[in-house]
């Protein structure tokens, strides 16, 4: 198995592996020794990018796995790994950002992160790490002051790069208008059923790298469905290529020049997910994928409230979100 290719993050001039391993396990906080063993196995297979978040409550286990991997000689040092974590909404307040990052680093037993992301363009009252959030706790999100605190984290060397997650074009424009350090990454939901073409084009123009979550439709999560893995178009392409539907989805995202996060604790699938670099989708395949009707998997209804800053999905995403299943029934 060859090593995972990398790309340069324009904002920070650091590199990011184009395939990463996610650690969100539902329900949050139920992370187990299985996860730690899976992370160690992933390192043995060649994964180097690991994605966590304060919300997932998987930081301590990832930290243990990193320590074990170094002790076992699977990697020579922590510098061989790329570690991403995220600022939760309850810490998305200027004065909470630095303490939140210190807490994350303590959980991981690390001196620095490679990438620290604002998890959502949302703030809730400080305290709880939970999803869904309590609607009564939703408060206005002060993007400018939160980002200033993120920039300070990078200047202090506590993270090599900073970025965002779940940000629309409009919210990125607002951020870029005042940012001294532009975001290196926007981590978003993306797969053949939610292709994000406008957002991808915008990010490419602005030098913001896209990292993909839910590349297979997030089956087994709070919001996930089988729609991606049950898609007939993808099945036909996979069968013709002698690949799995998952491999076709991952390869498609890779061909959009995004980095992709996968999450499987199944050893065979962990290996399969690495097998996306030595083959290509044809123009015909790509054309078929482009014609798949689009439907967002995770709308973020939890963040919508008549009393909160976002009163509709259109305000959260700055575009119309169709939640109907009519294309797929």
- Active-site residue, 26 included: no
Task: Let me know: does 103 contact 91? Beta carbons within 8 Å.
Answer: no
The residue from 47, 56, 112, 213 that is catalytic is 56
**Of 205, 271, 204, 257, residue with least CA distance to 5:** 257
Asked if residue 242 belongs to a domain, the reply is: yes
Assess if residue 218 is contained within a domain.
yes
Residue 261 — φ and ψ, nearest 5°? -105, 125
Distance CA 200, CA 192 (A): 13
By the 10 Å C-beta count (0-12 exposed, 13-18 middle, 19+ buried), 128 is classed as middle
- CA dist list (Å): 180 to 101, 121, 162, 207: 20, 18, 12, 14
Q: Can you tell me the distance from the alpha carbon of 43 to that of 64, in angstroms, rounded to the nearest whole number?
A: 13
Contacts of 90 (CB under 8 A, 6+ apart): 96, 123, 124, 125, 126, 127, 128, 129, 133, 137
Give the count of domains, the chain: 1
Residue 192 sits in a domain of what CATH number? 3.20.20.100
In the block, tokens 């919210």 appear at 171
203's CB contacts (< 8 A; 6+ apart) are 172, 186, 209, 210
DSSP string, 199-257: HHHHHHHHTPEEEEE-TT--TTSSS--STTTT-HHHHHHHHHHT--HHHHHHHHHHHTT
Cβ pair 184, 11 in contact under 8 A? yes
How many residues in total does the chain contain? 329
Q: Which of 34, 76, 42 is nearest to 58 (CA)?
A: 34
Q: Is residue 211 domain-resident?
A: yes
What is the reported pLDDT for 104? 98
CB 53 within 8 A of CB 104: no
The runs of H, that is alpha helices, within 6-108 are 33-45, 59-71, 94-108
Q: pLDDT by residue for the chain (329 residues), tens digit each?
A: 458 999 999 999 999 999 999 998 877 766 577 899 999 999 999 999 999 999 999 999 999 999 999 999 999 999 999 999 999 999 999 999 999 999 999 999 999 999 999 999 999 999 889 999 999 999 999 999 999 999 999 999 999 999 999 999 999 999 999 999 999 999 999 999 999 999 999 999 999 999 999 899 855 555 556 788 889 999 999 999 999 999 999 999 999 999 999 988 889 999 999 999 999 999 999 999 999 999 888 889 999 999 999 999 999 999 877 665 433 33
| Residue 27 structure tokens | 């329900």
Specify if 178 maps to a domain: yes
Strand partners, 124: 138
1 is a domain residue? no
Please tell me the distance from the alpha carbon of residue 219 to that of residue 57, in angstroms, as a whole number. 20
Range of the domain at 136: 6-317
Q: How many CB atoms lie within 10 A of CB 148?
A: 16
Written as six digits, the tokens of 258 are: 């995004």
Task: Taking the CA atoms of 8, 9, 13 and 15 in sequence, report the sign of the dihedral they define.
Answer: negative
Reported pTM: 0.95
Tokens of 145: 């002051």
Identify whether 329 is part of a domain: no
Beta carbons within 8 Å of 251's beta carbon, 6+ residues apart = 243, 276, 279, 280, 281
Indicate whether 60 belongs to any domain.
Answer: yes
Tell me if 328 is assigned to some domain: no
- Please report the pLDDT score of residue 20 as a whole number: 97
SS3 content of the chain, % helix, strand, coil (to 5): 40, 15, 45
Q: Is 254 annotated as a binding residue?
A: no
């Amino acid at each position: 198995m060859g090593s995972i290719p990398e790309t340069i993050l324009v904002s920070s001039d650091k590199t990011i592996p184009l395939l990463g391993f996610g650690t969100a396990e539902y329900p949050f906080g139920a992370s187990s020794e299985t996860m730690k063993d899976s992370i160690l196995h992933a390192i043995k297979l060649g994964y180097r990018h690991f994605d966590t978040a304060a919300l997932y409550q998987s930081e301590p286990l990832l930290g243990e796995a990193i320590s074990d991997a170094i002790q076992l000689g699977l990697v020579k040092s922590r510098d061989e790994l790329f570690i991403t974590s995220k600022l939760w909404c309850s810490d998305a307040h200027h004065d909470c950002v630095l303490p939140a990052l210190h807490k994350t680093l303590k959980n991981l037993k690390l001196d620095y992160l490679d990438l620290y992301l604002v998890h959502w363009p949302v703030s809730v009252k400080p305290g709880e790490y939970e999803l869904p959030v309590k609607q009564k706790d939703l408060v206005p999100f002060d993007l400018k002051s939160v980002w200033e605190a993120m920039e300070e984290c990078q200047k202090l060397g506590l993270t090599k790069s900073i970025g965002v997650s779940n940000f629309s074009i409009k919210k990125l424009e607002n951020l870029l208008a005042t940012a001294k350090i532009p975001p290196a990454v926007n981590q978003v939901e993306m797969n053949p059923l939610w292709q994000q073409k406008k957002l991808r084009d915008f990010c490419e123009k602005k030098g913001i790298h896209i990292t993909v979550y839910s590349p297979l439709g997030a089956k087994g999560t709070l919001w996930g469905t089988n729609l991606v893995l049950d898609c007939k178009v993808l099945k036909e392409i996979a069968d013709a290529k002698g690949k799995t539907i998952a491999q076709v989805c991952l390869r498609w995202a890779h061909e959009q020049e995004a980095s992709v996060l996968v999450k499987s604790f199944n050893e065979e699938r962990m290996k399969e997910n690495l097998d996306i670099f030595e083959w290509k989708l044809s123009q015909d395949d790509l054309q078929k994928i482009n014609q798949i009707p689009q439907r967002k998997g995770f709308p973020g209804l939890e963040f919508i409230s008549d009393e909160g800053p976002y009163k509709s999905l259109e305000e959260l995403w700055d575009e119309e979100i169709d939640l109907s299943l009519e294309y797929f029934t």
